[in-house]
Amino acid sequence: MDLRDTSPERASSTGLENHTRPQPGRGPLGEPRPSVQGLLEDLNPPQREAVEHRGGPLLVLAGAGSGKTRVVTYRMAHLLATGEVRPWNILAVTFTNKAAREMRERVWGLLGRKEPDLWVSTFHATCARILRGHAHLVGYPREFSILDQADQLALAKDCCKELNLDPERFPAGMLLQHVSDAKQAFVSCPQYRARWNGDYLREKVGRLYELYQERLRRAGAMDFDDLLFWVLTLFLEHPQVLEFYRRRWTHVLVDEFQDTNQIQYRIVKALAQEHRQICVVGDDDQSIYSWRGADPTNILEFDRDFPDVRVVRLEQNYRSTSHIIQAASSLIRQNRMRRGKDLWTANEPGDRVAVYVARDEREEAGFVAREIRHLVAREGSRPADFAVFYRTHAQSRALEEELLDCGVPFAIYGAVGFYERKEVKDVLAYLRALVYPSDDLSWKRILNVPRRGIGPKTLRAAETLAAGEGVPLSQALELAAGAAPKAGCARLREFLQLMDRLKNRLQEEGVASALKGILQETGYLSELRRSPDPLAGQREENLEELLNIAVEYEAEQGANPLGFLERVALFTDLDLSSHREDRVSLMTLHSAKGLEFPVAFLVGMEEGLLPHRSSLEDPAALEEERRLCYVGMTRARKRLYLCLAATRRVWGTPKSLPASRFLWELPADHLESLSLELGVSPGWQEHSGDRPNAVVGRWVRHSAFGVGTLLRVEAGGERLVVHFPGIGERRFITREAPLEWL
């Protein structure tokens, strides 16, 4: 059933309410069902309990590597295999298109058949689909466009310029983030301006919010936050629409529930409030996205809204070795704001978690690069088996240089995304302009790309005309074609005629053919081939890949330009294939969630980096930093390295940073200390009986040398090696060392 062709008034004519109960042993359409018992045999007792639960809300607290996805997919398959639920009565939402696709395909595999009416999707795609049928009720056309993040920022910059806001004092990105925060909290523009009247900064945010929304509505466009905002508005102001979807989706499942924000939770709560058949799956210990609106209280206080909830804990980890799990579990138990679970594994103990203390970030990166090269050469590992996680992007530079020096291939995960590349955005802007005549941003982008002699003066004249006449830029360009100087008039006419030809091609032959026309008829491809840009070849390959994507889309979904552009707009880098080239993966800890590697390195384990300095005075933020470290640790399957530097350059100046408190929270019997000179020794908190405070990485003060960091304990505890900024390493006899422990 296509929601775009469905309204609440037509619900009774869809036939969904009139199906008879399926026959025993048969599905809702009479097809044979898979063995229900066979589905359950693959599950451990808590997983089976979650899959079989019926009769009310269910909260599954799924620890890292505990089979969360298996529970979600088996639960859907079980509901369908028993004949209790029809495919179109299940809504499953998650956070990436990749996860949704994999989940859907797993359910189909378990059932032994495809179920196209089973709706498994992201929050944003689900809301977009709802709005395609009902956008007119909130003042939008059905064919609204969706702005990606780059276009949102471009529009915000235009608005700030129109409002004469100083870009140095009020960066558009910062103001736009405030607007996004307001929408995610379901605060409308009038409410925001009333609430913050008199606040200097937020008055500027309110002005941007108002103009930004006005420009969006004028263009018939929504941003990502609007998709959620307008669906909740629709549910609250048009109860018949909410009732229709409640009847359709009688079972609601939410994956990665710890990552939901306020508005997402309100949407699923509204859908499930009456039938109460809601299953949410998540891990409060992996809630690491508060900076983009995720609200951990949704999972911590779920029983506030559903007091009859059944809670099932998945605590057996199938991914990592015992040493890794014991160390990570000890760390996360330090948090207070958690529901509590004790992760365990039946896997072998494996290697202890290795801790390496370097003199500086260069030595730290060199150790990582050489260790990877050693394991590849001596143990037959592949570069793709390794990942290096860091807290901030700036930490990658030293790693990149050392890996290059060691000849180790690597890729930076989360670099410029495919759809953010200039050539891809240029060509997609043509397609958007053809589909959405009111999309002023796309028309502005393509007007003189490739160069065709239409300059900024002509564009400004057209924009002035558009504002004066109250029409879109595309219409103003047509008017300007008759009023521009003779040469400019001819060029504008040629451009508009080109767009007419491309529009006809799109309507008659589809997206892939239109993209070919854009590349050829505009001269874009020929200009690229003439370019001296050394990356021109890569850019052409990217355009070839874009064409391949369009061909694949049309093979699956048919010639639907709206659907293609919607898929592109809702795509994120998290949707990239899990298949990796044979390269070491470098990424931030926030990017690591959901991934796993045989070997992982966490670098920068220092106070001020992990935990980040912005969290040190905020208990809630500090707990999120601990969760971030926990997520990084539990990505490793067989080996885990925790690395830190005694000094690190901060704004060009070497600074001593104490070892991260998170290292002190790890049990010594699951750790080993690595040293280039000494090799391996048990534990990392090495000390002698005379110096119980001699913890590697700890700060010390010397009367002459100042503050330094303990690098190593040598000779069975008889000698201490301390690094002092600007001085270097100094050795002390443990019993006589004139050191004050800080």
Amino acid of residue 374: H
| DSSP structural state of residue 316 | B
Cβ within 8 Å of residue 548, ≥6 positions away: none
Looking at the DSSP bridge assignments, the partners of residue 387 are 585, 600
User: Angle 101-102-105 (CA atoms, 0-180°, nearest 5)?
Assistant: 85
C-alpha 404/C-alpha 402 separation (Å) is: 5
Q: Give the active site residues.
A: 68-69, 255-256, 286, 635
What letter represents residue 690's amino acid? D
- List the strands of the sheet with 728-733, edge to edge: 728-733, 719-724, 706-714, 699-702, 739-741
From residue 726, how far is each of 500, 649, 654 by CA, in Å? 68, 12, 8
Sign of CA dihedral 666, 668, 669, 670: positive
**What DSSP string describes 400-462?**
HHHHHHTT--EEETTSS-GGGSHHHHHHHHHHHHHH-TT-HHHHHHHTTSS--S--HHHHHHH
Question: How many beta carbons lie within 10 A of that of residue 555, not counting itself?
Answer: 9
Q: Where are the beta strands (DSSP E) in 223-352?
A: 251-254, 278-282, 310-314
CA distance linking residue 594 with residue 286, whole number of Å: 10
Helices 561-570 and 123-134, axial angle in degrees (round to 10): 150
Q: Which two tokens stand for residue 585?
A: 């993966």
Q: CB-based burial of residue 623 (10 Å sphere; 0-12 exposed, 13-18 middle, 19+ buried)?
A: buried
Q: How many CB atoms lie within 10 A of CB 252?
A: 24
* Closest alpha carbon to 644 in 719, 716, 710: 710
